[in-house]
Copies of this chain bind each other. A is one copy, B any other.
Amino acid sequence: VSRRIRLGMVGGGQGAFIGGVHRIAARLDDRYELVAGAFSSDAARGRASAAELHVAPDRAYASGEELAARESARPDGAEVVAIVTPNHAHAAPAIACLRAGLHVICDKPLCHTMEAALELAGAVRESSALFALTHNYTGYPLVRQARDMVAQGVIGAVRVIQVEYPQDWLTTALEETGQKQAAWRTDPARSGAAGSVGDIGTHAFNLAEFVGGQRVGSVLAELTSFVPGRRLDDDARMLLRFEGGARGMLWCSQVAPGNENGLRLRVYGAAGGLEWAQEQPNLLVHTPFGEPPRMIRRGGAGASPVAAHATRIPSGHPEGYLEAFAQLYRDFAEQILARREGRAPDPACQLVPGIEEGLRGMRFIAAAVESSRAGSTWVVLG
């Protein structure tokens, strides 16, 4: 009987959002079992969460650092730890885990400051453990297929990359109502120098690079806070120059009424285009120049092996956000098992974002903030 990978978690107690997503993602393909957690900085809430989550009381810890220390000392201890706290609380527990030899799955953006990010990157470099960053939209099968099609030259030399990520949930001053998610995301102390840019702009940026196959060389941005009293940007508009010659735009917003989670990517090359939208993730539109557009559907005709690797059920049976998120967990499981067994992992499982993507996201945030402060000048990404 094969055994599941033992998982710990930092954050994600009662009232949290993304922690629950990570747990479903870990469970969905049955590669993990949750064995330990530092679910909350509030001890009672942490214990209550543990009980709900089938975690033994003695493995509910007060902090990520304690979890790292205690679990790494157990023969049946957690092998990998998911960090699902607000941004400012990523680095410390992640570093503690890495130093204790535990693999880490960290939510994005990497950290709230560049300093913390660099320190964390150092810890990754020095550790023998693996590090994954949950830019979960890269787990969608048709996103991966789009990336592959671009790399194969199907649309020719890439010219234009348009990416946008509008939402509407911060259209009003939700943070003033005590709503927990809004509160920390609009607080510079916990979120960092950027609001919408860090929260969702980084996803859009990551997706553009992941699919487009070119790194962003420089950014020109204007960040705006439309809601009175808000301390961080809730809308940002940017021009992008890619290193391979492509040009593009990025828009992220949390004040665009009617948009729920409207991440959308369009890539145009000399020979065709590709269009994908997160809210219709089972469809990739391929527009070869001079031919009728083709609707490639997950699991259907035209879906490639790259997409098939990241799909579970037949076409027409929609997979969604949770399945895409789970794909990162599933692929990372293969990396962990390969490491454990001293073999090379399945190459199909190597697309999980890691510390490099994390650092690029931080540089993107820094460049966007700097550009906007300078009145919208081109800023080179470090």
Contacts and interface: CB of A to CB of B under 8 A. Distances in A.
Interface string A222-250: 10101000000001010100000001110
Interface centre among A262, A268, A281 (most CB of B within 10 A): A268
Contacts of A54: 1-4, 30
A378 to B, nearest CB: 7
Contact of A171 (B260, B275, B289): B289
A378 B275 CA distance: 30
A262 B316 CA distance: 7
A295 B295 contact: yes
B260 A272 contact: no
A249 to B, nearest CB: 5
A15 interface: no
A183 interface: no
Given A54-B30, A292-B296, A320-B320, A255 B312 contact: no
Interface stretch (A86-94, A159-167, A342-350): A159-167
A159 B159 CA distance: 30
Contacts of A214: none
B237 A224 contact: no
A307 to B, nearest CB: 12
Interface string A20-35: 1101100111100000
A58 B54 CA distance: 25
Interface residues of A, number: 95
A297 B260 contact: yes
Nearest to A53: B30
Contacts of A20: 312-313
Number of copies: 4
Interface in A248-286: 248-249, 251, 253, 255-262, 266, 268-273, 275, 278-282, 285-286
A72 interface: no
A322 interface: yes
Contacts of A27: 27-28, 30
Nearest to A272: B257
Interface string A281-309: 11001111111111111011110000000
Contacts of A323: 320, 322
B273 A256 contact: yes
Contacts of A279: 282, 316, 318
Contacts of A275: 258
19 contacts: A1-B50, A2-B54, A4-B54, A20-B312, A24-B29, A160-B226, A168-B273, A220-B220, A226-B270, A237-B248, A239-B376, A253-B268, A257-B289, A258-B268, A258-B285, A260-B297, A261-B315, A280-B280, A291-B301
